[in-house]
Amino acid sequence: MVTDYDLARAQNTIAWLRERHGAESIDGRFVADQIDASDAANVEEVARRHGSTHVMNAVEPSFVPHIFAGALAAGADYLDMAMSLSHPHPERPFTEPGEKLGDAQFASHAGWESSGRLALVGMGVEPGLSNVFARYACDHLFSEVNELGTRDGANLVVRDDDGNEIFAPSFSIWTTIEECLNPPVIWEADRGWFTTAPFSEPEVFDFPEGIGPVECVNVEHEEVLMMPRWLKAKRVTFKYGLGNEFITVLKTLHQLHLDSIDPIRVRSANGPVMVAPRDVVAAALPDPATLGRRMTGKTCAGVWVTGVGVDGQPREVYLYHVSDNEWTMREYEAQCVVWQTALNPVIALELLATGVWTGAGVLGPEAFDAEPFLELMARSLDDGGYGQPWGLEDRFVAPR
């Protein structure tokens, strides 16, 4: 069931599938419907009407509470790629967390568990694949983990019709503002969760497959709020390669209060209207889904792990997956950031549908065995897999 508030968008998705794969492969398998993701009762009604066993949430995180509740009410399992939003500490935002990402969902664990239903949260690429990598490292590569550090970087460039490089985020600017300007969260075994200032602790991280060194900074992200619940490590972090221009733009938006989600009164040709400044920024920028033909380069998602290997010796590894925009556009007509994110819930849905992954309650990907996921991901298309090998780089250099 392909659903959207704008029914035509859902119908266009199915039309694209039919054109690409033929009516005989699509008709009867894919059906479009209208849905209001801000109304839990409507989510429940649509899911019940179609007898849906799983509800996959792929919209803005502000809609998470409604879809999450609607799926449970419908007796369906649930997946998402971004979790319920955080709210900074009102007095000490840069030292202590307030309501953390996902807190509202994890608080519902008992209700989901008692209903025998599963909410698999944070099942995109980051969070998602990064959490799977972390579980694999803890199970198979390390006897003791010092740090689970998600590191995301790219060498993507977006150009206009004249070939000039332009500022155009490769995914939702609404979400970008939320995660980059909120206080980043870090977890340490002896302190628990604590916060720092946005863009803190810059470091240069060398990304594989030609991307190279990228400066990464602390950013609020779900992995830090998820991994410590299931995995044992001394420290958990998330750093993102934003670049100086991106950081400058975000800081300027904040200084001008254009990151605000509180509506303000704006004059228009038809009289005063109430508009949220962040919505104006989002409307003014290109739709990320349309950027593929203007974009070149690769994006890399992965987890850098340090500690003691299973042989008792110091070890440092980077587990990762790289997505090339030229390839994703040629094969799927989707830009690489969108495609890499979408790959992972599809793999997870297959594991759930076949009973390889089972569970009840509100769980993250690291609560499940990582091997079946990574094996299915890397297995060739001809053999029923997804044809996406993942990488593992040993990076420890013994001191001289």
pLDDT of residue 399: 67
* In a domain? residue 200: yes
For residues 252 and 254, give the distance between their C-alpha atoms in angstroms, rounded to a whole number: 5
Choose among 239, 365, 379: nearest CA to 302.
239
Separation CA 23–CA 110 (nearest Å): 43
Count of domains for the chain: 1
- Let me know if residue 2 belongs to a domain: no
DSSP string, 338-363: HHHHHHHHHHHHHHHHTTSS---EEE
- Where is 384: in which H helix or E strand? none
Is residue 62 situated within a structural domain? Answer: no
Select from 74, 45, 233 the least CA-distant residue to 150.
233
* DSSP symbols for 283-335: HHSPPGGG-GGGEESEEEEEEEEEEEETTSSEEEEEEEEEEEHHHHHHHHSS-
Q: Is residue 14 part of a domain?
A: no
- Which of 263, 295, 294 has its CA nearest to residue 280? 263
Instruction: Classify residue 158: in a domain, yes or no.
Output: yes
In a domain, 328, yes or no: yes
Long-range (24+ apart) CB contacts under 8 A made by 107-113 are 108/68, 108/72, 108/362, 109/361, 109/362, 110/361, 111/72, 112/72, 112/360, 112/361, 112/362, 113/360, 113/361, 113/362
Threshold 0.75, pTM exceeds: yes
End-to-end Cα spacing for the chain:
59
Q: What domain range includes position 130? A: 126-337+387-394
155 belongs to a structural domain: yes
Would you say residue 49 lies in a domain? no
Q: Provide the pLDDT for residue 103.
A: 97
Per-residue pLDDT of the chain (400 residues; tens, 9 = 90+): 999 999 999 999 999 999 999 999 999 899 999 999 999 999 999 999 999 999 999 998 999 999 999 999 999 999 999 999 999 999 999 999 999 999 999 999 999 999 999 999 999 999 999 999 999 999 999 999 999 999 999 999 888 888 888 777 777 777 788 878 899 999 999 999 999 999 999 999 999 999 999 999 999 999 999 999 999 999 999 999 987 888 888 888 888 888 888 899 988 888 888 988 888 888 888 777 777 888 899 999 999 999 999 999 999 999 999 999 999 999 999 999 999 999 999 999 999 999 999 999 999 999 999 999 999 999 999 999 999 999 999 987 766 6
**CATH number of the structural domain spanning residue 284:** 3.30.360.10
In a 13 Å sphere around the CA of 209, the CA atoms on its Cβ side amount to 20
